[in-house]
Chain A
Amino acid sequence: MSDIELRNLSKRFDGTTAVKHASFSIHDGEFFILVGPSGCGKSTLLNMIVGLEDASEGEIRVDGERVNDLDPKDRNMAMVFQSYAIYPHMTVRENMAFPLKLARLPKQEIDSRVAKAAGILELGDLLDRKPGALSGGQRQRVAMGRAIVREPRVFLLDEPLSNLDAKLRVQMRTEIARLQRRLGTTTVYVTHDQTEAMTLGDRVAVLRRGEVLQIGTPRQLYEQPENLFVAGFIGSPAMNFLPARFNAGRLELPVGSLELARDLRAAVAASEGPLVAGFRPDHLRAVGDRAQADLCFAARADVVEWLGADVFAYFDVTLEGFEAVALPEDLDIEAGRQGRSSLVARIDPAAGLKEGDTLDLGVDAAQVQVFEAGSGRNLSLSGRLDQA
C-alpha cells in the first residue's frame, strides 16, 4: 500500500504531447480513476507510473521515493491490461503463479497464494484450463488474479472491462469495487466510461488532450464542474446546454430569462464573450403552474425514453435570436442545429408522458450553471467560491 505523487509529469511522442504537466497525488488505499475521451493520454499516464514508458519530464514518487529510473519489475506494481494479456501457453494456475515464480517464492507459498486468489475470484474450477478455453469474463478474472496474488503496492487497471458485454461489465464493476475495499490496495483505474468512473472512484481525474482538467470526488465533479468539458462529460444523460446572454442583472436564454444571484452577477459581468447556461436533466422538471420555478417554459416532447424507474424526455426548443452553442467536439453532444436545440428532462414515470405531449417545464436559478463559452470556465463556481 502506497501513495503516489506525480510532479509536473509530461510525455512527448514525436509530434504529440500525450500528457502535459500532470501534478497530483493519489492517496494510500484510494480508488483513483483516470477518465477522459479516447486518446487523452490515460494509458500513457498509467504506463509512466508502472514504468513501461519513460517520462519526458517531471517526477513520479511512490511513498516519497522517486521511481522514475526503476525498471517495471522493481516497482512492485501490478497491472491489468485492456487486452488482459494473460499468457496463452500457460494454464490459469501457471498464469497466476508466474509473478510469484519470478519473485522466487517457495512453492508452498505460491500454491497457497494462488489458491487464495482463485477462491476470491471463483476461479477454483478453472485452474488447469488454458486461456483459450475461457470466456471473456473468466479471462478478465484471471488477469485480476495474476495482479492480486502479488500483494503489490499499487494496482493499475487500464480499461479492464471494456471488452466485456454490458451486463458482465456491471457485474465485474461491482466485484472490482468490492475486491479493492477488501484488499485496501491503492488503485489507479483507467476508463473512458464516465459511469464506471462515477460508480467506482473515491476520486476521479478528468483528462482531456493530455491535460488534467479537474480532480475531485464523483459528487464534486457532478455538482461543481470547473468547466464546460467536465460538465458535459460527467453525467448521463449529459447536461443541457443553451446559449445565454447577460442583460441588466438577468440571464437571458432562448426559453426565457431568470434572475441571477448577486455574486454570480458580478462574475458574469466580468466575463468575456458569449455565455452558455447548463443544467442537469434532473433539475429540469415538469411544473404544474408557472410560479413553481424561477424559469418556466412550455415545450413539446419529441422522444420519450422509458427506462422503468426513470423517464427521459427530449424536448425541442427554438434558439430565436441566439447562436447555437459551440461545444467541444470531443464531448459528442449535439448542441443544436438550424436554430433548434434539444433539452433532456427526467420525468416521473407516473405522469404518463407521451411523445407529442406539450408540458410546462421549470428550472431554478440555483441549478443553472453559467459558463464562459470561449474558455469554458464555470462562472457559477467562481461566484460561489467568492462567496465562501
Chain B
Amino acid sequence: MSAAGANGGRVERLFWGVGSAVVVIYALLPVAWIVSLSLKRSADLGDNRFLPRVVSLEHYATVFRDPQFSAALWNSIGIAAISTLAAVLLGAFTAYAVVRLEFPGRRLILAGALAIAMFPPISIVGPLFNTWRTLGLYDTWAGLILPYMTFTLPLAIWTLAAFFREVPWDLDKAARVDGATAFQAFVHVIAPLAAPGVFSAAILVFMFAWNDFLFAASLTSTDQARTVPAAIAFFTGSSRFEQPTGSVAAASVLVTVPVIIVVLLFQRRIVAGLTAGAVKG
C-alpha cells in the first residue's frame, strides 16, 4: 500500500511538473523572443533564429540615447505611481465602509463600481479628448491619472472589500480591550492583516496604468505626459527605411523590468493564509 502511495505521489508530481512547465513555456515564449530580439544586432534581426548569433547591447544604447524614452519612462513611473496610490487609498476607504458599516446603498456602490469596470474604455476616449482639451487637461499627468483611477477604482474596491471581509474583526475588538485606541488597533492589528489585500490591489492598479496604451496614445501629444507604451509607438528607425524593431524590443524589455520588480517585491507580502490561526480553524 505504501508502494502504491509512493507511486501515486510520483505520477502526481510528474503531472503537476509537466503541467507547470507547459504553462510557463507558453507564457514566457513571447517574452523570451522579445529579449532575444533586443539583444540581436540590427543586421541579424531578420535571421529567424531564436537565439542571437552575437549578443549586442546596441538597441539598449539607442533607447537610452533617445531623450523621448527617458521622458516617457519618468512619466510612466510618476503617473502609474500616483494613480496606484490614489486608487488604493480611495478604494480602501470605500471598501472599509462597505464591509464594516451599515448604510443604505451599500450594495449599490459595489454594483455601480462593477458597472464602471465593464464599461469599454474606447467608448469614452473620444469625448474625453474633447473635454480634456477644453479643460486644459490634455497632455498633462492629471489627464491620464483621472481616467486610470476611474477604471481601476472598481478593481481596487472589489479586491480590497474581498480582503477586508476576511479580516477577523474580533481582533479589532480584542485590541480595543487590550488597551488600544481605535487608531492603534487599526495600525497594529488591522492594517498588517489587510496589507496583502492592499498590495494585491496596488499591483493590479499599477499594471493597468503602466500598460495602458489607449488613453496614453489619445490624450497625450508630447514628452510632457506621454508614457512608455505610447512612446514606443513613436519610435523611428535610424533611417526611414528601417523598422525600429530592435529598439522597440529593447524598450519593451526595459518597461517590463519595473513591473517584475514591483510584483516580486510585493509577492512575498501577498502570502495567502497570513491570517491563519487568528480564530478557530
Contacts and interface: CB of A to CB of B under 8 A. Distances in A.
Interface of A: 50-52, 71-73, 77-79, 81, 83-89, 98-99, 102-103, 130-134, 136, 139, 146, 150, 163
Interface string B160-194: 00000000101101111111110010001100110
B177 A79 contact: yes
A303 B134 CA distance: 89
A154 to B, nearest CB: 11
B178 A146 contact: yes
Report, as a range, how many residues of chain B touch the other chain.
20 to 34
Nearest to A129: B277
Given A85-B170, A87-B171, A163 B280 contact: yes
Interface of B: 168, 170-171, 173-181, 184, 188-189, 192-193, 273-281
B278 A73 contact: no
Nearest to A79: B177
A275 B196 CA distance: 63
Q: Shortest 4 CB-CB distances between A and B: which pairs? A: A131-B277, A132-B277, A83-B279, A85-B174
Contacts of B274: 88-89
A81 B179 contact: no
Contact of A85 (B168, B273, B281): B168
Contact of A133 (B170, B193, B277): B277
Given A78-B178, A85-B170, A85-B174, 7 more contacts: A51-B176, A51-B177, A73-B178, A85-B278, A99-B179, A139-B280, A146-B178
Nearest to B178: A99
A163 B178 CA distance: 22
Contacts of A72: 173, 176-177
A68 B47 CA distance: 82
Contacts of B277: 86, 88, 130-134, 139
Contacts of A50: 177
B280 A89 contact: no
Given A73-B180, A99-B178, A102-B179, A85 B173 contact: yes
B199 to A, nearest CB: 14
B93 to A, nearest CB: 22
Contact of B279 (A73, A84, A99, A103): A84
A109 B177 CA distance: 20
Given A88-B275, A139-B277, A78 B177 contact: yes
A73 to B, nearest CB: 5
A131 B278 contact: yes
Contacts of B177: 50-52, 72-73, 77-79
B179 A85 contact: no
20 contacts: A52-B173, A71-B176, A72-B173, A73-B179, A73-B181, A77-B177, A78-B177, A81-B173, A83-B278, A85-B168, A85-B174, A85-B278, A87-B174, A87-B175, A88-B274, A88-B275, A98-B175, A102-B184, A132-B277, A150-B179
